[in-house]
Structure 1
Amino acid sequence: MKYRRNEAKDHAQEHMTGIWAAALNPFRAQDMALDEAGLRRNIRHWIDDLKIAGLFIAGKQGEFFSMSVEERKRNFEIAVEECGEGARTIMSCSDQNMDTVLELGRHAQAVGADYIVVHAPVLHFLTKQDETLYRYYETLCEELEIGIAMWSHPDSGYLMSPELCARIAELPNIVAIKYSVPREMYVRLTELAGHRIHVSTASEAEWLDNIEELGWRLYLCSSPPYQIQTKADQRMNDYTRLAFEGNFAEARRIRDSLEPVREAFRASRPPEKPQAHGKYWQELLGQVGGPVRRPLLQLTEEERAATRRALEGSGLRLTP
């Protein structure tokens, strides 16, 4: 651990900044095992070539729901080893079973992760959930030293209110939230708790506006940092740097120039196959993708061809 529980907020304010990406996990086609060499190769590209500041490991993008606890722990270990001092890590410890969340959280602490993220669980039969969720995160904070990011998204069956999130943000080692909600909700939470924790959302298209209008310093976290960028074309990095410097007019010009790439990605993505599409897009960019695990669906040959055509027409530069 690089800090103690009561130092977590200060540590995150200083070090949890910039562009963080959610890692898709490559699996081997022959046996569907985690492709450790492929993951290491991707991480090296993300850090060395794309200068990504932090990696979100074993989340929904990474198909954590199809992985065993031991596989998720190994995922953490590889990420810490490869990131070293070059980038920071936040490990997804989300699970319906709280003992599993705590087991993964303790492992993240033990191997040297910077932070963990835990999404709000599915809660069966409840008609109200605020006190349950407060006690849930309170227990995690009492049991773990590491800085914890909340995560609220529609998959839970509800959204955590800004007021509840602000209450939870007072706990000593709550450091951030990935808030996958309508903009008015995350604007309200920024007003309530932005001085205590990082508030962020996964929408790259909204990132620049949130730097300019809300003072955000953290993009947490999805796959665009390595899917709409290459070693030769780092417009997301460029407009982020310009925005941090206060040059918003030039930042907007560069941000807007990426719209054909965003549209190519969106238009070619089958609605039931986001991870499979993302992995194939990675392969087209020279990264390691691989198949998805069940119950997810693989791309058809027609879908792969459509994705190739979309990327080729997007204007994203692939080589220096």
Structure 2
Amino acid sequence: MKYTKHDAKDYARENMRGIWAAALNPFNDDMSLNEAGLRANIRHWIDDLEIQGLFIAGKQGEFFSMSIEERKRNFEIAVEECADDAGVIVSVSDQNMDTALDLARHAQDCGADYIVVHAPVLSFVQDRDEVLYQYYKRFCDRLDIGIAMWSHPDSGYLMQPETCARIAELPNIVAIKYSVPREMYVRLSHMLGDKIHVSTSAEEEWLDNIEELGWKLYLCSSPPYHLQTANDKRMHDYTRLAFDGKFTEARAVRDSLEPVRTAMKKARPADKPQAFGKYWQELLGQVGGRVRAPMLELTDAEKETIKAAFDGCGLRR
């Protein structure tokens, strides 16, 4: 560990900054994890795109289709490749707390910087505040590693800002990925100040959140490696400009990516997010690969549509 439990907030404020990307996991034709492909992607993301941290084994990475041992191996590969070059946050989320704690201890032992714990599915629970507080407290009591909350609609509810602010008082809570309407994360940001990082995965809102809310962390999704190439790092560029207070210049660069965003939105099948993301990676020269059930593969016709959108989007290869 690079910090103690009671130093976790201070450490994260100083070191958990910039653009962090959520990694898609490449699977081979036999559905095994393509370790060499993942390593190659990580090196490209760090060395060429200058991404500052990676979110490993999350929903983008299809953790729900992976065995416990595969998830642990996923952590280890990321830690080995990132080393001192980029940060690593790993998802240990599972409905079974013993499983989540086992994964969390492995993350802590293998050298991950932080973990993410999704808000759990809470069947039939109407008043969630105390349940959620005690849930995260159990992790904090048993672990030293910094913990990020994650609230998103897949849980069947959204954690309220007041609940998140209460949980943020726990010693090793360092961040929240808050996949909620903007008014909710704005309210939480004002409540917390710089106590922990508040972030959301909407890239198109990132610049506004730097300027209006003082955010320092993009946590995180696939745009950092879908919107950029080694020769076209506009997300990186507008982020640096914004951090330097050059917001007019930053907006011009941010807005120039609109054709790419539009192309992706129009070409992405609504029922195949991971398959789309991996094929777009392949068009960029990265390693994409197969998706695992229950996710669906692209048809040839869908690939043709995506390829046409990619060719006309304006990304510089």
1:251 equivalent to 2:250? Answer yes
Cα distance in 2 between the residues matched to 1:102 and 1:193: 27
Per-residue deviation at 1:126? 1.0
Per-residue deviation at 1:149? 0.2
1:5 equivalent to 2:5? Answer yes
Amino acid of the residue matched to residue 66 of structure 2?
M
Q: Deviations over 1:47-72 (max 9, x none)?
A: 00000000000000000000000000
Cα distance in 1 between the residues matched to 2:132 and 2:69: 27
TM-score by length of 2: 1.00
Query: Match for residue 312 of structure 2?
Result: 313
Per-residue deviation at 1:8? 0.3
Amino acid of the residue matched to residue 11 of structure 1?
Y
Q: Deviations over 1:151-209 (max 9, x none)?
A: 00000000000000000000000000000000000000001113210000000000000
Structure 2 gaps, min length 5: none
Cα distance in 1 between the residues matched to 2:40 and 2:10: 32
Structure 1 gaps, min length 5: none
Per-residue deviation at 1:219? 0.1
Q: Map 1:1-320 to 2 at 5 A.
A: 1-29=1-29, 31-318=30-317
Q: Deviations over 1:232-256 (max 9, x none)?
A: 1000000000000000000000000
Cα distance in 2 between the residues matched to 1:307 and 1:130: 43
Identity of aligned residues (%): 72
Runs of 4+ in structure 1 off by over 6 angstroms are: none
Cα distance in 2 between the residues matched to 1:194 and 1:90: 22
Cα distance in 1 between the residues matched to 2:10 and 2:91: 21
Amino acid of the residue matched to residue 174 of structure 2?
V
- Secondary structure at 2:204's aligned position in 1? helix
Amino acid of the residue matched to residue 196 of structure 1?
K
- Secondary structure at 2:55's aligned position in 1? strand
Per-residue deviation at 1:120? 0.2
Alpha-carbon RMSD across the aligned residues, in angstroms, is 0.5
Cα distance in 1 between the residues matched to 2:193 and 2:132: 20
- Secondary structure at 1:21's aligned position in 2? strand
